[in-house]
């Protein structure tokens, strides 16, 4: 039994290192050095530009974050969404909606490292998720890649996600991920090693075509996985050195915990744990910590996710 600590108001950074603009996010012109999946940031501080050379591998630049969230308000919100007709709306949708809203205020977490340069996905928030075609042990797995906008509401997140899941669980589907994996499966081991090296080379210089990036499970804004569906706690999942995914989020099963109220009365509350592994080179520690704080606030007041944000913060150029 642990002593309950009241949640103190979280400080909000009013002037992040970015520009506040009215939604929708302004489009920008493509320039030399930009990639098909993002644009290069040229006005960063010198240390930010040097760090990818000092820490060249994503696995060696990873930071690990663990958090527990009390889910009373979140569960009430989920029940409300299901009563509104959003069948199967759950914590996965809520987590994604909270993450997308966090990016709308902290676009720095939507950056990535490629070719030892820092880039931004801009207003394209690309989330990857592994799903089973059927909920059986022997069922095949596939990966879906979801594109969200900083202005998306929780309903938008749900509709986009469910559409992709339904498409990939049809009777006879082969996703782009599956077809690409099959092609590489036919290449002999020694040649495959050189083929992957060539892909890394093209990726380093930003020469991979957009169609190939779209079917790559290693390129995006974030990879999310649910350990809760397996009934186990979350894990710290490693980042991939291939590709450019800077964030991996894992969340676990619900659990109950007995706490003491201010008057000494015991009370039982429900929690969910989540763990984040993040590439620290994409932004400074203060911005990263501020992003984590914002992310957590949406579980205490998830109803704000039903409305589009009044403003969206645009990353530096």
Query: Residue 123 in contact with residue 24, Cβ under 8 Å?
Result: yes
Q: Report the pLDDT averaged over residues 130-142.
A: 70
> How many Cα atoms within 13 Å fall on the side-chain side of residue 189?
0
pLDDT band at 286 (very low <50, low <70, confident <90, very high): very high
Is the predicted pLDDT of residue 151 greater than 90, yes or no? yes
Classified as helix, coil or strand, 252 is coil
Q: Report the pLDDT averaged over residues 273-294.
A: 95
Query: Residue 281 in contact with residue 51, Cβ under 8 Å?
Result: yes
What is the residue whose two structure tokens read 């940031």?
41
pLDDT band at 155 (very low <50, low <70, confident <90, very high): very high
Strands (E) in the chain, as ranges, are: 2-3, 19-22, 39-40, 62-70, 111-114, 117-120, 125-132, 141-148, 222-226, 247-251, 255-260, 266-279, 311-314
Is the predicted pLDDT of residue 264 greater than 90, yes or no? no
Is the predicted pLDDT of residue 6 greater than 70, yes or no? no
Q: Dump the DSSP string for 256-275.
A: EEEEE-TTS-EEEEEEEEEE
pLDDT band at 135 (very low <50, low <70, confident <90, very high): low
Is the predicted pLDDT of residue 12 greater than 60, yes or no? no
Query: What percent of the chain has a predicted confidence (pLDDT) above 90?
Result: 70
Is the predicted pLDDT of residue 18 greater than 60, yes or no? no
Classified as helix, coil or strand, 117 is strand
Identify which has the larger pLDDT, 185 or 214. Answer: 214
Torsion of CA 309, 282, 196, 169, to 10 degrees: -20
Question: What domains are defined for the chain?
Answer: 31-309 (3.30.559.10)
Q: Which backbone phi and psi does 62 adopt, to 5 degrees?
A: -90, 140
What pLDDT was estimated at residue 272? 95
Pairing mode of beta strands 311-314, 247-251: unpaired
Is the predicted pLDDT of residue 138 greater than 70, yes or no? no
What pLDDT was estimated at residue 137? 62
Is the predicted pLDDT of residue 194 greater than 80, yes or no? yes
pLDDT for 101-112, tens place per residue?
A: 999 999 999 999
Q: Report the pLDDT averaged over residues 251-274.
A: 92
pLDDT for 207-250, tens place per residue?
A: 999 999 999 999 999 999 998 878 889 999 999 999 999 999 99
pTM (two decimals): 0.86
pLDDT for 26-78, tens place per residue?
A: 567 788 889 999 999 999 999 999 999 999 999 899 999 999 999 999 999 99
Is the predicted pLDDT of residue 24 greater than 50, yes or no? no
Q: What is the CA radius of gyration of the chain?
A: 20
Classified as helix, coil or strand, 283 is coil
Residues 6 or more apart whose Cβ sits within 8 Å of residue 269: 70, 72, 256, 257, 258, 259
pLDDT band at 132 (very low <50, low <70, confident <90, very high): confident
Q: Which two tokens stand for residue 236?
A: 């710290």
Is the predicted pLDDT of residue 139 greater than 70, yes or no? no
How far apart are the C-alpha atoms of 175 and 50, rounded to whole Å? Answer: 38
């Amino acid at each position: 039994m642990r002593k309950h600590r009241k949640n103190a108001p979280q400080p909000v950074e009013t002037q992040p290192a970015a520009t506040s603009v009215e939604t929708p996010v302004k489009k920008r012109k493509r320039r030399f050095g930009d990639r098909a999946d993002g644009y290069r940031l040229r006005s960063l501080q010198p240390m930010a530009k040097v760090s990818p050379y000092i820490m060249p591998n994503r696995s060696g630049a990873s930071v690990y974050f663990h958090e527990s969230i009390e889910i009373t308000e979140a569960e009430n919100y989920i029940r409300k969404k299901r009563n509104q007709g959003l069948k199967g709306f759950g914590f996965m949708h809520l987590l994604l909606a909270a993450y997308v809203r966090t990016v709308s205020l902290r676009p720095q977490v939507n950056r990535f490292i490629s070719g030892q340069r820092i880039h931004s996905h801009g207003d394209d928030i690309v989330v990857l998720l592994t799903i089973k075609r059927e909920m059986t042990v022997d069922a095949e797995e596939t990966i879906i890649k979801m594109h969200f906008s900083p202005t998306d509401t929780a309903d938008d997140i749900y509709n986009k996600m469910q559409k992709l899941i339904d498409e990939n669980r049809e009777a006879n589907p082969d996703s782009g991920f599956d077809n690409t994996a099959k092609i590489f499966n036919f290449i002999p081991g020694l040649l495959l090693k050189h083929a992957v090296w060539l892909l890394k080379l093209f990726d380093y210089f930003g020469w991979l075509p957009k169609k190939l990036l779209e079917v790559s499970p290693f390129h995006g804004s974030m990879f999310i996985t649910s350990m809760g569906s397996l009934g186990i706690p979350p894990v710290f999942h490693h980042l991939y050195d291939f590709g450019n995914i800077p964030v991996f989020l894992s969340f676990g099963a619900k659990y109950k915990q007995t706490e003491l109220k201010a008057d000494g009365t015991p009370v039982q509350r429900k929690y969910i744990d989540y763990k984040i592994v993040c590439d620290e080179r994409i932004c400074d520690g203060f911005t990263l910590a501020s992003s984590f704080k914002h992310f957590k606030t949406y579980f205490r007041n998830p109803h704000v996710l039903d409305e589009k944000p009044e403003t969206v913060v645009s990353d530096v150029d």
